[in-house]
C-alpha cells in the first residue's frame, strides 16, 4: 500500500469516526414525544409551559396567539376560526438544557383523531395528560390503545391538582386496572383542590410547596426537606401524614421503578401538577428528559434499522396542504429514523424507486418556517410535496428499506359524497384523490361499480365538513353529503375469500377500501356482536394492516 493511499484511508477512517461521534452525540441529545389527552385536560396549557422553558416562546398565551395567526393566514382553516377549535397540528422543536426536543403536536378536536394516530407512529414517547377530577376519559383511552399497539413509553401527568380532584390512589388504580399499565409515582400530592399544599418528590424526599398565585400568574415553588421543622408550620399535619402513609403504601405494595419496563411501555412514571399555575412542570420536564426513550432502532422490511446507521432513512407520517394558502403548498412531514439529513441531498423514494433531491427542507414551528441544513434521527422536517409523497412512504439512501407504514384506523361515520354538477367531475375527482392521499379522510367504494360516488369514512362529523369545505375552497366543487346510517366498520382477516366462506351476511353493508379489501359496515355494536356469534371463525379487525407495494385505487 502506498503512503498516499494509507494517508487517505487514515483520514477516511478518522472522518468515519468523527461522523460516528457526531451521530452518537446527536441521537443522545434528542427526545421526541406527543401528548395524548381528552379535550380540555390542559394540553394547550402544558405545551405552552414546556415551550416557555425551552425559550421557544417568550410569553404565556403565545400558543393560542399563534393559533389566531394561523387562522388568519390559512383560508381552509376558516372552520377553525368559526368554531374556535384546533384541527391542524404541527411539530414544535425546541432546545432545553442541551437537549433537542421534538414535540409532535396533535389536533385538539377529537373528530381529527386519525391525524393523532398517525402522529403517534412518528413518536418515541407519549405524555398522557389527565384531568385530576375526571381521570381517564374516552379520547385518552382510544389514544392509549394506539400507543399500546406500538409499545410507546408513556409518561402520565395528572393535571389541575389546584382544583378538587379524585383521590390520587384511585387515579393510579384506574390506570392500572383499566389500561393494564403499572404505575410509578415520581411525586406524590399533599392534599388537593383548596387544600393542595404541594408534592413530595419520591426520589429526593423533598417537599415542593405549592403557593396559590392569582389566576394567570405562575406559582412559586419552594423546596423543603421532609424533616424540616418549618414544614409543620406550613402544611397541616393530617394532610402530610396522609401523603406519607400513601407513599409508604406505594413503596410496599406498588410497582418498582424499572426503566426497561418504562421503555417497553409497561410502566408509566406518574407526575402530579398543575399546568396552569406552572406547578410541577419544570420537574416533570427534567425527569421526563432523563427517563424518556431516545430515538431507537425502528422496524423495516429489512429488520430493525439503528438510528446510528450512516445511511439516511425516514418516513412520511403526515401531509398537509395549504398551510399557507398564498403559496398553495403541500408539505410532507418526515420523521428521520437513521443517518444524517443534509440539505440538497438526493434520496430514493421507496414506493416509486425515484431519486429525489431534497432542496428546500424546512423546519416548521407552528406557522413559522426556516430552512434546515442538517437534521438527525428523532427530528421532523417538512418537505415540499408536489403530489409525490403519500402517508407511510419511506425515503432512504444506501440499500433499499421500507418502514412499517401507518395502518388505517376504524372510522365511525360514513357518508356518500355527491357531486351534483357533472361538468365539475374532473376537479371533484382530483380533490377527492388528493384529500385521500393526504389522509384528510378515508374513502370507501361501493362494490357495485355502477355506483361511482365515493363514501367518505371519518372519525367525526367535523372531519367530513372540513373535506367538503376544502373541496369547495381549494378545488371549486360544491358537494352534497348523504349520510349512511352506519357507525361501526371492520376489516376482514383473510379478505374476500374469508367472506365467501361464511356465505350470506345480514345486517351489514359490504364495501371496499382503496386497496380493494372488504370493509363491513354495521349500524351498531349489537349487529357486530351478532355476526361474531353467528360466525365465530370470521376474524374482524378495527385496524387495517399496511399494504405495501400496491397502489391504492382512485376515483
H-assigned helices in 108-183: 113-121, 138-149, 168-179
Q: Which of 27, 36, 41, 440 binds ligand G4P (CB under 6 A)?
A: 41
Q: Which cell goes with 382?
A: 417538512
Nearer Cβ to ligand G4P (129/305): 129
Nearer Cβ to ligand G4P (37/300): 37
* Beta carbon of residue 283, minimum distance to ligand G4P (angstroms, whole number): 15
Helix (H) or strand (E) holding 409: strand 408-409
- Integer Cα distance of 205 and 104 in angstroms: 33
- Integer Cα distance of 313 and 306 in angstroms: 10
Match 419496563 to its residue by C-alpha cell: 261
Q: Which of 32, 34, 36, 45 binds ligand G4P (CB under 6 A)?
A: 45
Nearer Cβ to ligand G4P (39/325): 39
Q: Which cell goes with 216?
A: 394567570
Of 53, 36, 99, which Cα lies nearest the Cα of 282?
53
* Beta carbon of residue 159, minimum distance to ligand G4P (angstroms, whole number): 5
Angle (nearest 5°) at CA 346 between 343 and 352: 130
Q: Which of 26, 42, 199, 462 binds ligand G4P (CB under 6 A)?
A: 42
By CB under 6 A, is residue 454 in contact with ligand G4P? no
* Beta-carbon contacts of residue 189 (< 8 Å; ≥ 6 apart): 161, 168, 196, 198, 199, 243, 272
Site pattern 82..111 for ligand G4P (x: CB under 6 A): --------------------------x---
By CB under 6 A, is residue 124 in contact with ligand G4P? no
The dihedral built from the CA positions of residue 41, 44, 49 and 50, taken in this order, carries a sign that is: positive
* Beta carbon of residue 78, minimum distance to ligand G4P (angstroms, whole number): 21
Q: Which cell goes with 236?
A: 397541616
By CB under 6 A, is residue 521 in contact with ligand G4P? no
Match 372552520 to its residue by C-alpha cell: 79
The stretch near ligand G4P (CB under 6 A) out of 32-40, 308-316, 352-360, 538-546 is: 32-40
* Beta carbon of residue 163, minimum distance to ligand G4P (angstroms, whole number): 5
* Beta carbon of residue 278, minimum distance to ligand G4P (angstroms, whole number): 9
* Pair type for strands 313-321 and 394-396: antiparallel
Nearer Cβ to ligand G4P (43/71): 43
Local structure of residue 218 (DSSP, 8 states): P
* Beta carbon of residue 284, minimum distance to ligand G4P (angstroms, whole number): 12
By CB under 6 A, is residue 278 in contact with ligand G4P? no
What is the side-by-side strand order in the sheet with 206-210?
A: 187-190, 198-201, 206-210, 221-225
Q: Which of 110, 113, 159, 419 binds ligand G4P (CB under 6 A)?
A: 159
Q: Which cell goes with 308?
A: 446510528
Footprint on this chain of ligand G4P (rule: CB under 6 A): 37, 39-45, 108, 159-160, 162-163, 274-277
Amino acid at each position: 500500500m502506498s503512503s498516499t493511499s494509507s494517508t487517505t484511508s487514515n483520514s477516511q477512517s478518522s472522518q468515519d469516526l468523527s461522523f460516528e461521534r457526531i451521530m452518537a452525540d446527536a441521537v443522545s441529545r434528542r427526545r421526541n414525544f406527543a401528548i395524548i389527552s381528552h379535550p380540555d385536560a390542559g394540553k394547550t396549557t402544558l405545551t405552552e409551559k414546556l415551550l416557555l422553558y425551552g425559550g421557544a416562546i417568550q410569553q404565556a398565551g403565545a400558543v393560542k396567539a399563534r393559533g389566531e395567526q394561523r387562522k388568519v393566514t390559512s383560508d381552509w382553516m376558516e372552520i377553525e376560526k368559526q368554531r374556535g377549535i384546533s384541527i391542524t397540528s404541527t411539530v414544535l422543536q425546541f432546545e432545553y438544557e442541551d437537549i433537542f426536543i421534538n414535540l409532535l403536536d396533535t389536533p385538539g378536536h377529537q373528530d381529527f383523531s386519525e391525524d393523532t394516530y398517525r402522529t403517534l407512529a412518528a413518536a418515541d414517547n407519549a405524555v398522557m395528560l389527565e384531568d385530576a377530577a375526571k381521570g381517564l376519559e374516552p379520547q385518552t383511552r382510544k389514544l392509549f390503545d394506539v400507543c399500546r399497539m406500538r409499545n410507546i413509553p408513556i409518561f402520565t401527568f395528572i393535571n389541575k391538582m389546584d382544583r378538587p380532584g379524585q383521590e390520587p390512589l384511585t387515579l393510579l388504580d384506574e390506570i392500572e386496572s383499566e389500561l393494564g399499565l403499572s404505575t410509578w409515582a415520581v411525586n406524590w400530592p399533599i392534599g388537593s383542590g383548596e387544600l393542595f399544599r404541594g408534592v413530595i418528590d419520591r426520589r429526593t424526599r423533598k417537599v415542593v410547596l405549592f403557593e396559590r398565585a392569582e389566576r394567570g400568574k405562575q406559582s412559586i415553588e419552594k423546596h423543603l426537606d421532609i424533616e424540616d421543622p418549618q414544614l409543620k408550620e406550613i402544611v397541616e399535619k393530617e394532610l402530610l401524614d396522609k401523603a406519607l402513609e400513601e407513599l409508604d403504601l406505594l413503596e410496599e405494595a406498588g410497582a418498582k421503578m424499572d426503566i426497561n419496563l418504562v421503555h417497553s411501555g409497561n410502566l408509566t412514571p406518574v407526575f402530579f401538577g398543575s399546568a396552569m399555575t406552572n406547578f410541577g412542570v419544570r420537574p416533570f420536564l427534567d425527569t421526563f428528559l432523563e427517563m424518556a426513550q431516545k430515538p431507537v432502532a425502528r422496524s423495516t422490511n429489512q429488520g430493525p434499522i439503528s438510528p446510528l446507521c450512516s445511511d439516511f432513512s425516514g418516513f412520511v407520517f403526515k401531509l398537509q396542504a395549504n398551510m399557507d394558502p398564498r403559496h398553495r403548498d403541500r408539505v410532507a412531514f418526515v420523521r428521520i429514523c437513521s443517518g444524517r439529513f443534509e440539505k440538497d441531498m438526493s434520496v430514493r423514494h421507496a414506493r416509486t424507486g425515484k431519486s429525489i433531491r431534497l432542496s428546500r427542507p424546512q423546519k416548521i414551528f407552528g406557522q413559522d418556517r426556516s430552512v434546515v441544513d442538517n437534521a438527525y434521527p428523532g427530528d421532523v422536517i417538512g418537505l415540499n410535496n408536489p403530489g409525490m409523497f403519500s402517508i407511510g412512504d419511506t425515503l432512504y439512501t444506501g440499500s433499499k428499506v421500507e418502514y412499517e407504514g401507518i395502518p388505517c384506523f376504524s372510522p365511525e361515520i360514513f357518508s356518500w359524497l355527491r357531486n351534483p354538477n357533472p361538468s365539475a367531475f374532473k376537479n371533484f375527482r382530483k380533490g377527492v384523490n388528493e384529500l385521500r392521499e393526504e389522509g384528510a379522510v378515508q374513502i370507501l367504494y361501493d362494490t357495485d361499480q355502477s355506483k361511482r360516488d365515493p363514501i367518505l369514512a371519518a372519525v367525526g362529523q367535523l372531519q367530513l365538513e372540513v373535506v367538503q369545505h376544502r373541496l369547495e375552497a381549494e378545488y371549486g366543487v360544491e358537494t352534497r353529503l348523504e349520510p349512511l346510517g352506519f357507525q361501526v366498520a371492520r376489516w376482514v382477516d383473510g379478505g374476500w375469500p374469508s367472506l365467501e366462506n361464511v356465505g350470506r351476511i345480514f345486517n351489514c353493508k359490504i364495501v371496499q377500501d382503496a386497496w380493494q379489501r372488504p370493509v363491513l359496515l354495521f349500524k351498531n355494536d349489537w349487529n357486530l356482536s351478532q355476526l361474531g356469534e353467528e360466525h365465530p371463525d370470521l376474524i374482524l379487525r378495527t385496524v387495517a394492516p399496511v399494504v405495501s407495494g400496491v397502489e391504492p385505487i382512485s376515483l
